[in-house]
Amino acid sequence: MVKILLSGCSGKMGNVIQNVISEFPSLKIVAGIDKFPKESEFKIFKNTEDVNIHYDVLLDFSRADALKDLLALTTSTKKPLVLCSTGYTDEDLKLIEDSSKTLPIFKSANMSLGINLINSLLRKISPLLYQNYDIEIIEKHHNQKVDSPSGTALLLADTIKESISDDTYYVHGRNGEKKREKAEIGIHAVRGGSIVGDHEIIFAGSGEVIELSHKAISREVFAVGALKACSFMANVTKAGLYNMDDVLGL
C-alpha cells in the first residue's frame, strides 16, 4: 500500500483526489496538509513543520507559494514529491531543478494523460510544419484561475519552441496594427465561467488548418494522472526531475 500525504487536501483538487482514489486500491491518503482544514477521515496538518507521520509520497495540489515548505519537508524525509500546482516563477523552477539533484521530484504543468500525449506529438510534428504553418495556442479556463497564460499552454509552447531549430518567440495576445511575424508563436488566454480547461494548438497554413485540441470535461482527469504519478514515484529512489513522459513511458 502506497501511503500518500496530500498537500492542499481541502481545496477543489484535493477533494477530487479523495473521491477518485477509491479507483486505485494500492493507494491510500494517510494525512493531509492545508492551512484551512475541513472535516476529514484523515488527520490534517496546518503546516509542513507539524507533519509527524510516515508517508511514501507527498502529493501537492495547493499553491506555488507552498513550494519552499514542501521542499523542506521532502529534504527531511527523502520521500518523493509530486508537484501538481501551477504558477511557479522562474526562481521557483530553478529551485525545483536544483533540488531534484538530491531529491526525487515529479513535476508536470498538466496531469492529464491526453495533454501529455498531445505534447509528445507536438515534438514530432512541429519541426515538420513550422516552415509552412503559423502556430497559435488558445487556452480557456474558469474565472477563478490566477495565473495566465496557463502552465499547460506554456508547456505546449515550450515543447514547440524547443523542437524547432529556427529562433522563435512568444506573443501574448495582440493589439494594434502590426502584421504577424513568421517567428511568432501566439499564446492567448480566455477566462470565464467554470471552464475546467481547454487547450487548442493551431497550425494555420495556406489553404488548410491543422488543429489539435483537448477539453477537460471534469477535474477527475487531473486526479487520475496525479495518482498514476504517485504510483510511479513510490518506486523511485534515485534523485531526479521526473514528468508524465516517465509515467507514460514516452
Task: Tell me if 192 is assigned to a ligand binding site.
Answer: no
Ligand-binding annotation for 197, yes or no, is: no
Binding residue per annotation — 32? no
Q: Is residue 120 part of an annotated ligand binding site?
A: no
To the query of whether residue 228 is one of the catalytic residues in this protein, the response is no
Annotated binding residue 111? yes
Q: Beta-carbon neighbour count of residue 53 at 10 Å?
A: 11
User: Known binder of ligand: residue 11?
Assistant: yes
| Residue 12 counted as an annotated binding residue | yes
Structure-block grid coordinates of residue 38: 475541513
Tell whether residue 8 is among the known ligand binding residues: yes
84 annotated ligand binder: yes
Tell me the residue ranges of DSSP E strands in 21-132: 27-33, 43-45, 57-60, 81-83, 104-107
Backbone φ and ψ of 154, nearest 5°: -70, -35
Identify the helix (H) or strand (E) that includes residue 6: strand 2-7
> Binding residue per annotation — 249?
no
Q: Which amino acid is at 9?
A: C
The closest of 140, 185, 139 to 158, measured between CA atoms, is 185
Given 79, 107, 140, 141, the catalytic residue? 141
The residue type at 177? E
**Annotated binding residue at 109?**
yes
Distance between CA 152 and CA 30 in Å, rounded? Answer: 29
198 is in an annotated binding site: no
Q: Is 151 annotated as a binding residue?
A: yes
Residues 139 and 126: their CA atoms lie apart, in Å, by 18
- CB 156 within 8 Å of CB 212: no
CB 87 within 8 A of CB 146: yes
Catalytic (active site) residue 54: no
Q: Which residue in the list 3, 28, 145, 161 is annotated as catalytic? A: 145
Buried b (16+ CB within 10 A) or exposed e, 78-96: ebbbbbbbbebeeebeeeb
Residue positions in the annotated binding site for NADP(+)? 35
Residue positions in the annotated binding site for NAD(+)? 8-13, 34, 84-86, 108-111
Residue positions in the annotated binding site for (S)-2,3,4,5-tetrahydrodipicolinate? 142, 151-152
- Residues with catalytic function: 141, 145
Residue positions in the annotated binding site? 8-13, 34-35, 84-86, 108-111, 142, 151-152
